[in-house]
Chain A
Amino acid sequence: MTTSGKTLKPNTSVKSALGRLASNQLFIPILALILLSLFVLIAKPSFFNIEFKNVDGNNILQGNLITVLDKASELAILAIGMTLVTSASGGQDISVGAMIAIAGSVVIRVVKGYAPDISGGQFAGMIITAFLLCVVVSALFGAFNGSLVAFFKIQPMVATLILFTAGRSIAQWINNNENITIKDNRFGYFGGFIPGVPIPTPIFITAICLGIMALVLKFTNLRLYSQSVGINASSSRLNGINPKMMKLLTFIILGVCVAVCGFIKVSRVSQIRYTTIGNAIEMDAILAVALGGNNLGGGKFNMTASVIGAYVIQFLTTALMSFKVPSTAIYAYKAVIVIVLVILSAPIVREKLNDLKKKLFSSQQTKVKEVS
Chain B
Amino acid sequence: MKKGLKKIASIILSAALLGSMAFSIAGCQKSGSDLIKVGIINNNPDESGYRTANVNDLKNTFTEENGYEASFFYNNKNEEQIAAAKGFIQDGVDYLLISAAGTTGWDSVLQDAQAAGIKVILFDRTIDCDESLYECAIVSDMPKEGETAVNWLAAQGLDEYNIIHIQGVMGSSAQVGRSGALDDMVAANDNWNIVVQQTAEWNSETAQQIVQSVIDSGESFNVIYAENDDMAMGAVQALDQAGITHGVDGDVIIMGFDCNAWALEELLAGNWNYDGQCNPFQASTIDNVIRNGATQKIVYSEEKGFDATTITQDDIDTYGIR
Interface residue ranges, A against B (CB under 8 Å): 46-47, 49, 53-56, 60, 62-64, 66-67, 71, 172, 177-179, 181, 188, 192-193, 265, 268-271, 273-277, 279, 317-318, 321-322, 324, 326-328
| A62 vs B199: C-alpha distance when bound (angstroms) | 23
Known contacts A53-B243, A276-B205; decide if A328 and B170 are in contact (CB<8 Å).
yes
Contacts of A63 in B (CB 8 A): 216
Chain B residue nearest in CB terms to A279:
B203
Closest CB in chain B relative to A268 CB, distance in Å: 6
Contact A327 B199 (CB under 8 A): yes
Contact B45 A322 (CB under 8 A): no
The 9 closest A-B pairs by CB, nearest first: A55-B243, A321-B213, A276-B203, A64-B216, A274-B46, A327-B198, A269-B204, A179-B49, A181-B262
Contacts of A324 in B (CB 8 A): 196, 198
B202 contacts chain A at the CB level, 8 A cutoff: yes
Contacts of B233 in A (CB 8 A): 181, 269, 271
Closest CB in chain B relative to A76 CB, distance in Å: 16
Residue count of chain B within 8 Å CB distance of chain A: 39
B208 contacts chain A at the CB level, 8 A cutoff: yes
| A321 vs B241: C-alpha distance when bound (angstroms) | 19
B contacts with A: majority SS: helix
Closest CB in chain A relative to B213 CB, distance in Å: 4
| A54 vs B260: C-alpha distance when bound (angstroms) | 32
B201 contacts chain A at the CB level, 8 A cutoff: yes
Closest CB in chain A relative to B113 CB, distance in Å: 28
Closest CB in chain A relative to B254 CB, distance in Å: 15
| A46 vs B215: C-alpha distance when bound (angstroms) | 12
Contact A275 B47 (CB under 8 A): yes
Contact A269 B208 (CB under 8 A): yes
Closest CB in chain B relative to A228 CB, distance in Å: 33
| A158 vs B250: C-alpha distance when bound (angstroms) | 51
Contact A328 B199 (CB under 8 A): yes
Contact A54 B46 (CB under 8 A): no
Known contacts A179-B49, A181-B262; decide if A327 and B206 are in contact (CB<8 Å).
yes
Contact A276 B204 (CB under 8 A): yes
Q: How many A-B residue pairs lie within 8 Å, measured between CB atoms?
A: 99
Chain B residue nearest in CB terms to A326:
B198
Contacts of A178 in B (CB 8 A): 52
Contacts of B210 in A (CB 8 A): 321, 327
Contacts of B102 in A (CB 8 A): none
Chain A residue nearest in CB terms to B241:
A192
Chain A residue nearest in CB terms to B43:
A275
Contact A322 B217 (CB under 8 A): yes
Contact B46 A67 (CB under 8 A): no
| A46 vs B197: C-alpha distance when bound (angstroms) | 20
Q: A46-B217, A273-B230 known; 7 other A-B pairs, CB under 8 Å?
A: A49-B216, A67-B209, A274-B46, A276-B202, A277-B205, A322-B216, A322-B217
Contacts of A56 in B (CB 8 A): 243
A64: which of B44, B46, B170, B213 is its contact (CB, 8 Å)? Answer: B213
| A234 vs B163: C-alpha distance when bound (angstroms) | 62
| A270 vs B49: C-alpha distance when bound (angstroms) | 15
Supply 20 A–B pairs (Cβ within 8 Å), ascending by A: A46-B217, A53-B243, A55-B242, A60-B243, A62-B242, A66-B216, A67-B209, A67-B212, A177-B46, A179-B52, A269-B208, A269-B237, A270-B237, A276-B202, A321-B210, A324-B198, A326-B197, A326-B198, A326-B199, A327-B199
| A327 vs B218: C-alpha distance when bound (angstroms) | 20
Instruction: Give B250-290 as 1s and 0s: 1 = Cβ < 8 Å from A's Cβ atoms.
Output: 00000000001010000000000000000000000000000
| A327 vs B196: C-alpha distance when bound (angstroms) | 11
Closest CB in chain B relative to A49 CB, distance in Å: 7
